[in-house]
Amino acid sequence: MKKKFMGKLVLFLLIFSINSFINVCSASQRIVIAGGALTEIVFALGAGDQVVGVDKTSSFPEKVKQLPQIGYWKLLNIEGILSLKPSLFITLNDVEPENIIDQVNQSKVDVLALKRVPGTIELLYENINKIAVKLDKQKEGQVLINQIRTNLADLETKITTHPQKTKVLALMSMGGTNSVAGKNTTIDALITIAGGENLANHNSFKSYTAESLITLNPEVIILNKHSIDQLGGLDKVNTIPGIIETAAFKNNRITIIDDSYLFGIGPRVDEAAKILFQSFYPQ
């Protein structure tokens, strides 16, 4: 009987030790992230204290701004990443240069590469699940998904009361030029989730003439804060060629959205969609 008890005790202690080791390893990760939405997921899961570096698109929560940066996600270099001595690199799978993920892998750093497009809620849930598993935060991941799902379900109910979709255009400052956001952009996905209709059917970003803007005549125009800064302030919106002839400008329906919502569909998607919905369908 005593031997049997001792055998069970040894087995219990062995299992406990293994679990403790796994937990300690997970808790002691040094995480570097390329992708603002991915950074938000890690922090939302409660693992922000393990993050030691981020890319330039990572700006939320506020404490992220105090972390070392590895550059822009489209222009990374292996030295900047490895200088932070990461044990895990969480990244978008289309970061550049194209060989950067292979370089990090070859440096014996664990890599979790996740899809950026299509910008859908389903992909967001998939990415949350994958990060949660990697960080041993499955419970927190499910709680986060359920919270987002509940909030979006409430929003979808409200959207159904507006069968006529609001016509929208999103103008973003790209290298000093105001370009219109089309398909395969985060803002296009957010417009759809919020119950609006993006009038731009082209892919990515494209410059529009004043005539094109007037012809489309959006009911709502979205600008990000960076674009407003580039213009020199909100009172300079009227300097965008053609904008003063649109219904959006005439009816004072210019919506400003924070840039931090626009670096991929992240865990605050319900918050961003609510802001846009309220601008599309004001009470």
Residue 43 and residue 128 in one domain: yes
**Does some domain include residue 5?**
no
**Does some domain include residue 159?**
no
**Does some domain include residue 73?**
yes
Residue 111 and residue 138 in one domain: yes
Query: How many residues in the chain?
Result: 283
Last residue of a domain, which of 128, 152, 176?
A: 152
Q: Is 70 left (phi over 0), alpha (psi -120 to 50) or beta?
A: alpha
pLDDT at position 24 = 42
Residue 135 and residue 195 in one domain: no
Mean pLDDT of 68-77: 95
**Does some domain include residue 13?**
no
pLDDT at position 114 = 97
**Does some domain include residue 19?**
no
Q: Please say if the pLDDT value at position 174 is more than 80.
A: no
In this structure, of 7-11, 45-49, 99-103, 277-281, the range with the lowest mean pLDDT score is 7-11
Q: Please say if the pLDDT value at position 158 is more than 60.
A: yes
183-214 pLDDT tens trace: 999 999 999 999 999 999 999 999 999 999 99
Residue 124 and residue 197 in one domain: no
pTM above 0.95, yes or no: no
pLDDT at position 28 = 75
Q: Please say if the pLDDT value at position 22 is more than 90.
A: no
Residue 182 and residue 111 in one domain: no
Residue type, 259: D
| pLDDT band with cut points at 50, 70 and 90 for residue 230 | confident
Residue 180 and residue 259 in one domain: yes
Mean pLDDT of 43-53: 98
CB 273 within 8 A of CB 261: no
Looking at residue 48, which CATH number applies to its domain? 3.40.50.1980
**Does some domain include residue 22?**
no
Going by C-alpha positions, the residue among 210, 191, 208 that lies closest to residue 257 is 191
Residue 145 and residue 220 in one domain: no
Enclosing domain of residue 169: 165-280
Q: Which residue has the tokens 């865990």?
A: 267
pLDDT at position 11 = 53
Mean pLDDT of 59-63: 95
Residue 171 and residue 271 in one domain: yes
Average pLDDT, the chain: 91
| pLDDT band with cut points at 50, 70 and 90 for residue 177 | confident
Residue 147 and residue 174 in one domain: no
Residue 119 and residue 57 in one domain: yes
Q: Please say if the pLDDT value at position 215 is more than 90.
A: yes
Give the total number of structural domains in the chain: 2
**Does some domain include residue 3?**
no
pLDDT at position 134 = 98
Residue 145 and residue 190 in one domain: no
Residues of the chain above pLDDT 90, percent:
82
Mean pLDDT of 93-120: 95
pLDDT at position 17 = 46
Last residue of a domain, which of 152, 183, 210?
A: 152
Mean pLDDT of 99-108: 96
Looking at the DSSP bridge assignments, the partners of residue 114 are 92
Last residue of a domain, which of 122, 152, 182?
A: 152
3-20 pLDDT tens trace: 554 555 445 445 544 444
**Does some domain include residue 23?**
no
Residue 222 and residue 180 in one domain: yes
Q: Please say if the pLDDT value at position 232 is more than 90.
A: no
242-270 pLDDT tens trace: 999 999 999 999 999 999 999 999 999 99
